[in-house]
Amino acid sequence: WKVKKHGQERRRIWRKLHLAVDSKTHEIICADLSLNNVTDSEAFPGLIRQTHRKIRAASADGAYDTRLCHDELRRKKISALIPPRKGAGYWPGEYADRNRAVANQRLTGSNAR
């Protein structure tokens, strides 16, 4: 998207700022700066590890529907509010909540556009 938005690259090093925000107070609770080639889901575990607050639930878009993100949330005992990606399959093992979301997605036909 950056080439479409800003034109062809001219010796720039793009950075991405990843933020975790308290949904009630809108306060930034942690931040991480990464290079452009780091995906959001790759930066997510490091972002979660930074905070010393007790987080009960984390919500994110479908780009964060990866084992890496779900494993980190489960490790810290945080409830994941992440919709499955379009066409998502079931994961074996300790992913019961996510698998229920996949089943619900298939049942209701959401994300079927």
What is the torsion angle, in degrees rounded to the nearest 10, for the CA atoms of residue 78, residue 33, residue 26 and residue 102? -40
Is residue 19 a part of any domain in this protein? yes
Residue 65 belongs to some domain of the structure? yes
Cβ pair 65, 90 in contact under 8 A: no
Is residue 97, in this structure, part of any structural domain at all? Answer: no
pLDDT along the chain (113 residues), means of 10: 72 88 94 94 94 92 95 95 93 93 89 58
Total structural domains within the chain? 1
pLDDT at 100: 94
> Computed from CA positions of residues 60, 61, 64, 66, in that sequence, does the dihedral angle turn out positive or negative?
positive
- pLDDT of 39: 94
87 inside domain: no
Q: Is residue 108 part of a domain?
A: no
Within a domain: 104 = no
Place of tokens 């005992």: 77
Q: Is residue 17 a part of any domain in this protein?
A: yes
In a domain, 53, yes or no: yes
Give residue 45's domain range.
2-82
